Amino acid sequence: MLSSLEIAQNAVLRPIEEIATGLGILPEELELHGRFKAKVSLSILDRLADRPDGKLVNVTAITPTPPGEGKTTTSVALTQGLAKLGHRPILALREPSLGPVFGVKGGAAGGGYAQVVPMEDINLHFTGDVHAVTAAHNLLSALVDAHNFHGHTPVLETVTWRRALDVPDRSLRQIRTGLGGEKNGIPADSGFDITAASEVMAILALATDLADLRRRLGAITVGYTAEGVPVTAEEIKAAGSMAVLLKEAIKPNLVQTLEGQLCLMHAGPFANIAHGNNSIIADRIGLKLGEYLITESGFAADLGMEKFMDIVCRVGHLRPHVVVVVATVRALRHHGGGDHATKAPLEQMTAEVEAGIQNLAKHIENVRAFGIQPVVAINTRPDDKPELLDLIKQRSLEAGAFGAAIHNGFGEGGAGTTELAAVVAEAAEAPSDFRMLYTDDEPITTKIERIATTVYGADGIELSDAARASIARYEAQGLGHLPICMAKTHLSLSHDPTVRNRPTGFTVPIRDVRAYTGAGMLVPLCGEMLQMPGLGKQPAAFGIDLGPNGETVGLF
């Protein structure tokens, strides 16, 4: 069988203008970036304002495992499968970060016969959105430094704004700037976050239009005066120039699946430290253009999906109809204590899957907590035992799923996903009662605790003195109404990345709470979270190169 890279390179693509105009996008609303990529003007939302929205389908997964679950592959395959059944689906995805591409995970455009293309462009520079976010973030860093150097008011006693880079580099997590003499600035401690973790990226994804983007950039807190008064990007006159750098990046990108369905790919915040979903603007456009909008949340239902419901839907006034939870045999064996990389007797693998089902059951429960219909997508590999696939399907229904389907989108594309597509379409018509976990006016501590107990399964939370002080300060500043964006490991339902499956009897420690005043959310820090990854001993970058004819090899 061909590799995912070979499949993508051999694909016969349709001009993106042809796909876009076929779905009702006007030529004057398109800004082409070659033949197979484009941006769409935000004016389309005004033109389509009176058109009814399609059904919103969110794709999430069980807790991530080393073998992966194939969430993006499933999202693409489901879109292709719905099209095979005669529906008009639109896909919405986040833009890949160079961190995973050159680090551990590799490309982020699906796999096999369920990909979005042109895969190479998407995984590298694409249309330059991520670079624009990096530039805007670092422009603010430079203007903060200049503000201090020239002694402008208000005087920044403490600077909290760091720098950004879209490449993993552990040596930049903590740095000291302004060295080499007084002409080089004021020496100060700082550091780099990966661009996907930048508040600017979160703002790009949450902004509802250009004016809202400009307002949110101005509301970013860059530091504090000696009296503890927050200083914003607006006050140091940085927001306007940042908005200019992002005025093209706010327009969603258009690409396509291997089978010619439209994909809106826009923004790329991480779900363990940010809200982890594509842009609200992309969702709104997709809902107007399609009968179904398939949108993927980062990591599992305790992270990206919870934040989609409690942050994205709150800000964007969105109402989801179905949540698809992706699971695999290997991933459930991992959560059941097994060695997913080693073949074992069927009896042993059955016991491991049975044990690991508890993790899947918790994520089904999490979907139900929001009043939405859960559907389990069982993503298959060629060597999966049919008995194990049937077992997962049966246990999913017993755990409360509306439906469950086995799919082979990787190997067959849309043709291998029609069963899943039919179940999702049926679930979208079933009764639902979407609700968020908390209201705006509830106390900050209550919001944090409800997420921990309801979604993670914790007994409660433990606030450090620093967290209590931060919460008191934010409530005094009138920020208590903001939604909560938990910064937590993606490797466990708990705060401890070493704990698999469905842990119980634990308390979530909150070491501090940060205010992302531009993005409009409060960020509790659970355990030790890093915002700049490091390259491993054998990073994916080692295998990426140019072939003899100048083609890219090893990207996926």
pLDDT digits (tens, 9 = 90+) for 301-357: 999 999 999 999 999 999 999 999 999 999 999 999 998 777 899 999 999 999 999
Residues in the chain: 556
Lowest mean pLDDT among 3-17, 95-109, 194-208, 522-536: 95-109
Query: 525: burial class by Cβ within 10 Å (0-12, 13-18, 19+)?
Result: buried
Tens-place pLDDT, residues 211-247: 999 999 999 999 999 999 999 999 999 999 999 999 9
Find out whether 68 and 341 touch, Cβ atoms under 8 Å. no
Q: Which residue has the tokens 């009897």?
A: 505
Tens-place pLDDT, residues 8-48: 778 889 999 999 999 999 999 999 999 999 999 999 999 99
Give residue 104's pLDDT band: very low, low, confident or very high (50, 70, 90). Answer: low
The tokens describing 198, both together, are 């930048």
Find out whether 254 and 263 touch, Cβ atoms under 8 Å. yes
Task: Over range 375-394, report the average pLDDT.
Answer: 96
Task: Over range 66-93, report the average pLDDT.
Answer: 96
- How do beta strands 507-516 and 521-526 pair? antiparallel
CA distance 316 to 208: 7
Residue 294 vs residue 170, higher pLDDT? 294
Give residue 107's pLDDT band: very low, low, confident or very high (50, 70, 90). Answer: low
pLDDT at 111 over 80: yes
CA distance 213 to 32: 23
pLDDT at 106 over 60: no
DSSP 547: -
pLDDT at 184 over 90: no
pLDDT of residue 182: 80
pLDDT of residue 270: 80
CA distance 275 to 266: 14
Q: For the chain, what is the mean pLDDT?
A: 93
Cα 235 to Cα 214, 289, 474, 478: the distances in Å are 13, 40, 19, 19
Tens-place pLDDT, residues 260-304: 999 999 998 887 878 999 999 999 999 999 999 999 999 999 999
Contacts 24+ apart (CB under 8 A), 443-446: 443/475, 443/480, 444/471, 444/474, 444/475, 444/480, 444/484, 444/513, 444/522, 445/471
Cα 64 to Cα 187, 197, 334, 363, 521: the distances in Å are 41, 19, 10, 12, 25
pLDDT at 6 over 90: no
Q: Which residue has the tokens 């006693």?
A: 157
CA angle 267/100/130 to nearest 5° reads 30
Closest-CA residue to 420 (of 401, 434, 443): 401
Nearest-10 crossing angle of helices 239-246, 129-149: 170
pLDDT at 110 over 90: no
Task: Over range 371-397, report the average pLDDT.
Answer: 97
Buried b (16+ CB within 10 A) or exposed e, 62-90: bbbbeebbbbbbbbbbbbbbbbbeebebb
Give residue 556's pLDDT band: very low, low, confident or very high (50, 70, 90). Answer: low
Task: Over range 524-535, report the average pLDDT.
Answer: 78
3-state per-residue secondary structure call for 321-386: CEEEEEECHHHHHHHCCCCCCCCCCHHHHHHHHHHHHHHHHHHHHHHHHCCCEEEEEEECCCCCCH
pLDDT of residue 105: 57
Q: How far is CA 46 from the centre of its chain?
A: 27
Lowest mean pLDDT among 10-14, 114-118, 255-259, 449-453: 10-14
Q: Which residue has the tokens 């531009």?
A: 518
User: Can you list the domains of the chain with their CATH numbers?
Assistant: 4-128+249-429 (3.40.50.300), 129-246 (3.30.1510.10), 444-526 (3.10.410.10)
Contacting residues for 215 by C-beta, under 8 A, at least 6 apart: none
